[in-house]
Structure 1
């Protein structure tokens, strides 16, 4: 991506009225791409394009925030298209980059006025839209579906504005969002936050106590664990299915690394676990739960995706 001196140094002209847009654009791009590193690159490129225009052209822009959103959305759409090819070459399973407790990326609804009604039961909150289970569902969508859905259903941009970014008609964008909404509805298994947190805490306690029976009892019979190592560090390359198999894998990790420690941390807006060895984060675990227990554990081990956790 290209950069300008202003965007590369991170210094934005406070008088332009656009400096405050950075957090919103990062929110948007992270949900579209599932990668904080890529989201930050998108924001840099967006500002580079802004400052690449002449002062006269910038002054003529009626809504700088709208211009930046449109530019960022189009960059994300292009990146999502190329990302599919890159992920086909990725070693093992590709998972979204886990996010530490950054309230600026989790809370605060933003976006334009709502112009198209959505069933309240289908509405996605800003907090929910950053949960790992939700981001994994987004990965199953086409680039156009994902951009239209995130812009409209999450950030509440009306379809005429979405259409300008996606490059399709408002009616076509409405259909894209509806298709994406069906995917989310099918995958959604809402559980109370208290239930989720209790299961995660019990999992940590049972793992530390080497209580195999308790670990098995906390997992749904069809529980799955999906690791993401990118081939950079040792890990199985396929999802592990079945609670006994999942427990066997986690106990093997503890036996292979006796000094490993599991700590409770906020992962993508929910309680998760962080595995550390000598104070260094080596794995970030995100969980999905249902009434029957823990249904999915996502284990991010690729060091390139753990950079945000070095100071977390």
Structure 2
């Protein structure tokens, strides 16, 4: 079972980078993580909700039926609604644990289960990745600061299906120009990747386009994290690589997957902290991530995580 680091002083958690500019907090250790939030028995739960063990994942890519797609539209719209609501609360002084609490309450209010909760023993209901945390940051008691960059990843299990999306936001008005460019580029990588999706398109085209966009802007793709198939299962085939690759496989009608590139302003390499989840860049550079769940259809591609 994965554990969280607790009982550390505030000064132990964070330090300033050595470079003169930009100045931002580098996350070196997780903060204190609150107890697991309660989900009422009346809410339908995925198979791992109690055990943390994932079952029922298909071995091959699958085409969803019209009914399945309709249900996924509902779950994906709800995920987008929640990420929009939570994003409005992002400001200096707010802790990521408070963001998690609000997201959790919105899930319960809409009779949905927060997909990350106890998935392979992840302890919270959303992922919040700040500054040099590339992915899978665990919400904790650290207050956000003016100048931070934060990615929030919201996933819900609703009506038997998962919906998954993520956004990155700047905190306050003191984020430097390169930080703003990083966030813009990460979103552009996602948007350009979606544009090349459609029946018969190679899956590897997604990674090729993302790599070009990131490189032209002077940033790098973090290859450790990929998109994934999604449905009644949280993660399944295909793996969607966000870097240039030679993987085989084509998109087909009814295929549903996420695209979620993590873009770094420096090194693409990451290391995992002692909590078993928090992934930080090895050179302490900042990252940004955007994510949508998409459906390959006869018209090309449908973004499901929209309102």
Q: Which has the larger radius of gyration?
A: 1
TM-score (norm: length of structure 1):
0.32
- Choose between structure 1 and 2: higher helix proportion: 1
Whose RCO is larger (CA < 8 A, sep 6+)?
A: 2
